[in-house]
Amino acid sequence: MNFCSQCGEKVRFAVPEGDDRSRYLCDACGTIHYQNPRIVAGTLPVSGSKVLLCKRAIAPRKGYWTLPAGYMENAETTQQAAIRETHEEANAEVTLADLYTLIDLPHINQVYMIFRAELVGGFSAGVESLEVALFDEHEIPWEELAFPTIERTLRHFYHDRPLGHFPLHSSTITPEDRERYFGSA
Amino acid sequence: MNFCSQCGEKVRFAVPEGDDRSRYLCDACGTIHYQNPRIVAGTLPVSGSKVLLCKRAIAPRKGYWTLPAGYMENAETTQQAAIRETHEEANAEVTLADLYTLIDLPHINQVYMIFRAELVGGFSAGVESLEVALFDEHEIPWEELAFPTIERTLRHFYHDRPLGHFPLHSSTITPEDRERYFGSA
């Protein structure tokens, strides 16, 4: 951020009076520009014994497999965002179950929220996907998953499924986790 | 948003190519300025039979009672945000339990995430609070709560406590809910 989005003057990065962290400040109009984490909402779509994955058609991690997920938009709910992303990436309708993984990625200011979901009807590659397919557990392309959030969500699912109990899993992905992950990809 | 925060030129509000909703666009440098919901993280601090509430010292809803909560910051986790807000508003240390309410407010682009928590040690009013106090259920100032998210979280808690089971409650607050709430305050 270089300029004030309100008045167009130059901003500076400093701690506002009464605050304890640096913000982009506009001395001309007085606006403080707060920046906050973004939610990535998505689903783990299940059809019988299989899970739906999408092969990414866009950067980052083009060509790698992911669960349908993307940035939550203004004016929608987390559940609407998860359903919309599933529709956009896989042309798939789903019935949502509970929130399943809540994963913080503080180093990139993201919070992942993945809901379990039941696939209803067919599917096909949306514009951001090269391919969409159903996988049994032994078919999951573990070495070709796009992000550590996706691997973690699938690992939880295959742990919980035999137990028939799917509690919310909250966790954090650190820069070290991420480096280890992309290092091995 | 009137000006591009990257280059300082005027922005326009229109649907980018390949997108399906309007964004602030800079024709000069090509930046698309996405805007996304913000997370409000907080706690429901419990001490024995009592719950801790804070009387707000700032707008909006100055003088009304709330659970400690506030905007999640970049570079922190949802749990760290909840703990930090509790410390800032009530000078209170807490041990977090699970996420308890996840409440979408799509009309104001917020997602509330309130964690159950155990109060550890003392408390006092932080700079954003006029007063901080512990309440038994019959003492809760239901008519003087700051926000419908707070009332909803407390209602869930008093429903669940006798059952000894505190599942995650996901819900949405609509403009009608909000109007009804503030209309009766």
Strand (E) positions, chain A?
12-14, 23-25, 32-33, 38-47, 50-56, 65-66, 69-71, 93-105, 110-120, 129-135, 169-172
Query: Is the separation of the CB atoms in A159 and B88 below 8 Å?
Result: no
Work out the pLDDT band at A184, boundaries 50, 70, 90. low
How much of chain B exceeds pLDDT 70, in percent? 99
Intervals of CATH 2.20.70.10 along chain A: 1-35
How many of the other CB atoms lie within 10 Å of CB of A71?
A: 14
Contact A99, A112 (CB under 8 A): no
For residue A180, is pLDDT > 90?
no
pLDDT value at B152 more than 50: yes
pLDDT > 90? residue A56: yes
Across chain A, what does the average pLDDT equal?
A: 96
Name the residue among B24, B73, B78 with its Cβ closest to that of A102: B78
The percentage of chain A sitting over the pLDDT mark of 70, rounded to a whole number, equals 99
Q: In chain A, which residues fall in CATH 3.90.79.10? A: 38-182
Place of tokens 């326009």: B12
Q: Which residues of A touch B127 (CB under 8 A)?
A: 18
The pLDDT, as a whole number, for residue B184 is: 52
**Phi, psi torsion values for A6, nearest 5 degrees:** -80, -55
Q: pTM for this structure?
A: 0.95
Question: Residue A52: which of A159, A112, A156, A124 has the closest Cα?
Answer: A124
CATH for the stretch A38-182: 3.90.79.10
C-alpha separations of A89 from A46, A84, A115, A129 in Å: 15, 9, 15, 6
Q: What is the mean pLDDT of residues A25-53?
A: 97
CATH code given to domain B1-35: 2.20.70.10
pLDDT at B178 over 90: no
Mutate to test the interface with A, among B1, B2, B5, B169 (most CBs of A within 10 A): B5
